[in-house]
Each structure stands twice: as C-alpha cells, then as structure tokens.
C-alpha cells in the first residue's frame, strides 16, 4: 500500500495558498506530518480523505488516482479529524456499528466482534453503552480513533489526535497507533506535537507555510541538528540576552541563574556545553535554518 502525492496545490477561494506543489511518497507504517498551526497539515489530510479537492496535482493510492477512484479509496480509509465528536445520542458501540456498516463490514457477527475488540483496544468496553455526550474528552478521542480503525482500513489518517489529551492518554494513544502500524497499513499522523512523531514514526515530513520542507526519517533530521544544541548556564542578567539571540528550547531555573537549552550553530560568549539533539531540537533547528541550508547547498537526499 502506498500513497503518492504529486505536485499537489490547494488555493482557497479567498486566495490563500494552503498547499504549494507538494510531492510526497508514503509507504506502509507510520508517517508523521509535522508543522506549525496553519502550515497546511489539515488541508493535506482533508485532501487525502477526499473531503476536499486539490486545486492542482494529484494523489495516487496504490497507483489509483484518488479523483477517479474515490469510492474505492474511501473504502480503504479511516479518518479521525482534529476535533472529533460523535453524535451525542448514539451509544459508543452504536457509533462504531454505524461506522463499521458504512465501512463495509457486512457480517453482523464479525461486526460485533470487531466492535467489541476495538472497544477493548481503546479501553471503552466498559463504556460501550454510554451515549457519546456522557463520555469524557479522552474517551471521545478514543472513540474517534476506534471509528477510524474499524473496518480494517488500509489507510488511517489521524489529524492532531493527541491534542488536549493528558499524558497517560497520549502515551496510550501513541502505543495504539504503533501497534496498528505493525500491520500492513499506512498511518498518516498529522501533528504539531513533535513528541508524537519521535515516538512513533520512521518517516516524516515537515510542512511550513504550505510547503513541504523536509521529507525523511526523524533520525536524519536529528542528525542535521547534531552539534547545534547547547546547554547554557546563564545568570539572571544574561537570561534576556540569551533569549534574544538564540532559540531557547527550555529554561530551567538553577542556583544563581538558569539552565537554558538553545539551538544554535555556536553559542559564543556563554558558558555552554554541547547536547545530544532530539527531534524537537531538530525541528526547531531545521525550521530556523532550512532556508540557509538550501542556500548553501547543504541538501540532503531526502530534502525536497
């Protein structure tokens, strides 16, 4: 199963260019789409689930043009939108049944088993008889992922799934996605939370202002930031100065000052020690420097 996005552009009627010439190949497994709010992630997601037409370009799923084989592709797809909420007057299992039926699970017994399994998997089995409006935020989100996963979809598209979840819920959710990604499916995870991708994806892309700025593995992205992450011990007086000059990733108060993590090529003039970068550092570094990286021809193989 693969998705090929070719020269995809979306311009809204008000003239806003949400996506510009996106080219992307997505294979089986978890694929992370990272970008700031408004970068175009949701637009791309909505195009992928055929809720929106692109202005130009095409999406091929297993070689089939989405535009021409919408019904077929829809039958492969599960989708969890950003702010999912179920019909308040349907019980948890009913909503899953509704989704399963539409997803094409015809056999009643199979459907029932699958619903039960899915409810178990997302930890909602006990709440199966509850109306959606009686579920907590986390439960609703789990119900959302359950409906996206029901019917054994080959493409699962989840848009900002962990926003608003507490840490336990988030971890649980990531684990669930990871588990599913082991099957022969594509999971497209759109998020602005770096941690979601670092802990789940082997392939990711970065969107910035509608443009694809990175397509590769998280590790490669992290490598690009190696030697660029520093821990600076700063006095109270230096804090503001450091904040102005560098991208401060974190700031922890210490005795007599601050322990600051910054992303920069060289922290000259400060008491700095190099650190091992993580994806968050890499994301910040990359988003900060990718223009200059481009200019200096420091282009890596997966760079678009």
Partner 1 sequence: MISFRNIGTIARYERRILFRSWFFRIFAILTLFFIGLFSGVTMFERGPFTWMFRSLPSIVIYSNFFLLNIAQSVIAVFLATDFIKRDKKLDTSEVLFIRPMSNFEYITGKTMGLLWVFILLNLLLAALTSVYIFISDQVPFRLIPFMAYFFLVSLPSLIFITGLSFALMTVIKNQAITFIILLGYIALELFYLGNRPGYIFDYMVFAMPVPFSDIIGFSNAGYLIWHRATYLLLGSGLILFSAWRLKRIPNSQGNNILVLISTLVLLSLSVVGFSEMIRQNKKVINNREAYAGLSTKNYSVKAPLMKEASINIELGETIDAVSTMVLKNPFDETLDTLLFSINPGFIVEKVTCGGEGAFFLQDRLLLKVVPSKDFLPGDITTIEVCYSGIPDFDVSYLDIDHEDVYGHVQAMNIRIDKKYGFYTNNYILLTKENLWYPVPGIAYDPSRPAIFRQQFTKFGLSVKVRPGMVPVSQGVRQTDDSLLYRFNIRDPLPQLSLAVSDFEEKKIDIDGIEVGIAWYRGHDYFNNQLEELGDTIKNLISEFLDDYERPLGMYYPYRKFTLVEAPVQFASQPHSWTAALQQSQPQMVYYPEGGFNIRQADFKSNYRMIKRDSDRNKEGLTKKEIQARVFTNFMNGVLGEENADIRFGPPGTSSQSNPYSIYPNYYYYVNYITSEECPVLNYAFESYLRKGEDDPRQIFMSRAMGLGNDEKANLLLKEKSLKRVIAEEEDQQQINNVLRVKGSYLLTWMEKQINDSNFDQFLLDYLYNNSYKEIKFRQLESDISNRFSIKMGNFLTNWYNESDLPAFGLGNFEVKEVIENSQAFFVVKTKVTNFSSVDGLVKFSFQLGGGGGGRGGGFFMGGGAEQETEERIYLIDGNQTKEFQMLLDESPRSVIFNTLLSQNIPVSSMEWGLRAEKDENGKAEEYERIVEKPVELSLPGELIADNTDHNFEVFDPSLENPIRKFFESRRKEKEEEFVRGEFGPPPTTWKKVANSDYFGKIEHSAMVVRSGDGSKTAAWKMPIKEAGYYDVYVFLERQRGFGPGRGRDRRDPPGKFVYTVAHDDGTEKIGLEVKDFEDGWNLLGSFYISSDTAKVVLSDEGGADRVIADAVKWVLQR
Q: Segment 206-245, which members bind partner 1 (CB under 8 A)? A: none
Residue 161, interface with partner 1 (CB under 8 A)?
Answer: no
Residue 12, interface with partner 1 (CB under 8 A)?
Answer: no
C-alpha torsion sign, points 196, 60, 290, 241: negative
Q: Which is nearer to partner 1, 98 or 239 (CB)?
A: 98
Stretch that binds partner 1, among 87-95, 183-191, 239-247, 293-301 (CB under 8 A): 87-95
Near partner 1 by CB under 8 A: residue from 86, 119, 124, 185:
86
Residue 85, interface with partner 1 (CB under 8 A)?
Answer: yes
Shortest distance, CB of residue 104 to partner 1, whole angstroms?
A: 7
Near partner 1 by CB under 8 A: residue from 81, 161, 210, 267:
81
The rounded distance, in Å, linking the Cα atoms of 246 and 258 is 14
Shortest distance, CB of residue 94 to partner 1, whole angstroms?
A: 7
Near partner 1 by CB under 8 A: residue from 16, 56, 68, 134:
68
Distances (CA, A) of 236 to 240, 243, 255, 270: 8, 12, 10, 13
Binding mask 117-156 for partner 1 (x = CB under 8 A): ---------------------------x--xx--------
At 93, phi and psi to the nearest 5? Answer: -70, -30
56 beta partners: 9
Stretch that binds partner 1, among 77-85, 251-259, 273-281, 296-304 (CB under 8 A): 77-85
Residue 187, interface with partner 1 (CB under 8 A)?
Answer: no
Angle between helices 92-103 and 137-149 (to 10 degrees): 20
Shortest distance, CB of residue 118 to partner 1, whole angstroms?
A: 14
Residue 112, interface with partner 1 (CB under 8 A)?
Answer: no
Near partner 1 by CB under 8 A: residue from 50, 162, 190, 200:
50
Residue 72, interface with partner 1 (CB under 8 A)?
Answer: yes
Total residues in contact with partner 1, by rule CB under 8 A: 34
Residue 64, interface with partner 1 (CB under 8 A)?
Answer: no
**Pairing between β-strand 247-254 and β-strand 257-263 as defined by DSSP bridges:** antiparallel
Residue 103, interface with partner 1 (CB under 8 A)?
Answer: yes
Per the rule left: phi > 0, alpha: psi between -120 and 50, beta: everything else, 228 is alpha
Whether the Cβ atoms of residue 232 and residue 270 lie closer than 8 Å to each other: yes
Residue 75, interface with partner 1 (CB under 8 A)?
Answer: yes
Residue 74, interface with partner 1 (CB under 8 A)?
Answer: yes
Greatest Cα pair distance, the chain, in angstroms, is: 70
Contacts with partner 1, residue ranges (CB under 8 A): 49-53, 68, 70-72, 74-75, 77, 79-87, 89-90, 94, 98-99, 101-104, 106, 144, 147-148
């Amino acid at each position: 199963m693969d998705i090929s996005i070719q020269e995809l552009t979306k311009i809204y009627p008000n003239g806003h260019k949400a996506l510009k010439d996106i080219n992307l190949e997505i294979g089986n497994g978890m694929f992370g789409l990272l970008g700031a709010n408004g970068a175009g992630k949701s637009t791309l997601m909505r195009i992928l689930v055929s809720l929106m037409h692109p202005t130009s370009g095409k999406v091929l799923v297993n070689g089939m043009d989405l535009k021409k084989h919408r019904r077929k592709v829809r039958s492969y797809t599960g989708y969890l939108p950003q702010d999912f909420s179920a019909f308040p007057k349907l019980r948890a299992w009913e909503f899953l049944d509704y989704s399963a039926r539409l997803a094409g699970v015809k056999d009643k017994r199979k459907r029932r088993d699958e619903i039960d399994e899915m409810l178990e998997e997302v930890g909602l089995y006990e709440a199966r008889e509850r109306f959606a409006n009686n579920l907590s935020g986390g439960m609703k989100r789990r119900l959302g992922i359950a409906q996206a996963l029901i019917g054994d979809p080959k493409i699962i598209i989840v848009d900002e799934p962990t926003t608003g979840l507490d840490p336990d819920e988030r971890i649980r959710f990531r684990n669930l996605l990871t588990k599913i990604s082991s099957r022969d499916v594509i999971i497209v995870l759109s998020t602005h939370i770096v941690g979601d991708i670092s802990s789940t994806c082997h392939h990711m892309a970065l969107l910035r202002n509608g443009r694809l700025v990175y397509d590769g593995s998280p590790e490669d992205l992290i490598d690009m930031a190696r030697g660029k992450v520093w821990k600076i011990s700063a006095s109270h007086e230096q804090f503001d100065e450091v904040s102005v000059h560098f991208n401060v990733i974190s700031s922890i108060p210490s005795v007599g000052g601050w322990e600051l993590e910054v992303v920069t090529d060289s922290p000259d003039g400060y008491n700095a020690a190099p650190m091992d970068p993580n994806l968050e550092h890499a994301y910040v570094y990359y988003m900060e420097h990718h223009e200059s990286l481009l200019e200096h021809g420091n282009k890596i193989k997966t760079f678009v």
